[in-house]
Amino acid sequence: MSEPASPGQPAVRHANKRGAARLAAVQALYQMDVAGSGVFEITAEYEAFRLGKEVDGALYREADAQWFRAILTGVVEDQKTIDPVIRQALTDDWPLSRLDSTLRAILRAGVYELMKREDVPVAVIVSEYVDIAKAFYEEDEPKLVNAVLDRVSRRVRGEGRGKDAS
C-alpha cells in the first residue's frame, strides 16, 4: 500500500518492521563505512535516536531492533567471508571496490541474510534488498543487486532464478 508523496517525490510504501530494520541496517553500514564509526556506537545511536523516531523532520519507521542488530553485527563479524562471496558474484569489470558505499552496504546486508538466515526465504531477501536499492537509485543498481543476490543464493542455498555468471 502506498501513500501519495509530495509533488516530484515517489509514493511512500509502508514497510514491515523487518523491512524497516533492513533499511536502517543498510544506512548504519553506510555510515560506518563513510565515517569510520564502530558497530557499538552506531547501534546505540540508531536505537536511541533513529528507529521509530523523528530525525530532522523525517519519521523513521518502527523497526525490529533485534533484526537490525543481527544484520549489523553479522555483517561486521562476517565481512571477511561476505566480501569474497560478493566479489565472486560480480563481473570482472565491476570489482567490489568500484561500487559506492551504499551499494556495498546493501549487498553486504543481503548476502549476510542469504548466508546466515536460512529461516528467511530467498525471494523475500532478494525482494527486500532490491526495494532498498530502488529507494536510493533509479538506474541499473537495483538490477545489479537483484543479479548479485540471485547468483549468491544459487551458490549458498541452491536456489535462484537466473543463470550463473560465466
Cβ partners under 8 Å of residue 108, min gap 6: 29, 75, 79, 82, 83, 86
pLDDT bucket at 27, cuts 50 / 70 / 90: very high
Task: Give the residue with greater pLDDT, 155 vs 53.
Answer: 155
Instruction: List the one residue out of 32, 59, 61 whose CA is nearest residue 45.
Output: 32
Q: What is the pLDDT of residue 5?
A: 43
Say if domain 12-155 classifies as CATH 3.55.40.10.
Answer: no
Q: What is the pLDDT of residue 4?
A: 41
Q: What is the pLDDT of residue 14?
A: 39
Computed over every residue of the chain, the mean pLDDT equals 84
- CA–CA gap between residue 26 and residue 110 (Å, rounded): 9
Q: What is the pLDDT of residue 159?
A: 72
Q: What is the pLDDT of residue 91?
A: 84
Over residues 112-137, the pLDDT tens digits come to: 999 999 999 999 999 999 999 999 99
Over residues 81-107, the pLDDT tens digits come to: 999 999 999 988 878 888 999 999 999
Quote the percentage of the chain above a pLDDT of 90.
59
Q: What is the pLDDT of residue 2?
A: 37
Cβ partners under 8 Å of residue 5, min gap 6: 11, 12
Every domain of the chain and the residues it spans: 12-155
CB 146 within 8 A of CB 126: yes
- The pTM is what? 0.83
Q: What is the pLDDT of residue 117?
A: 94
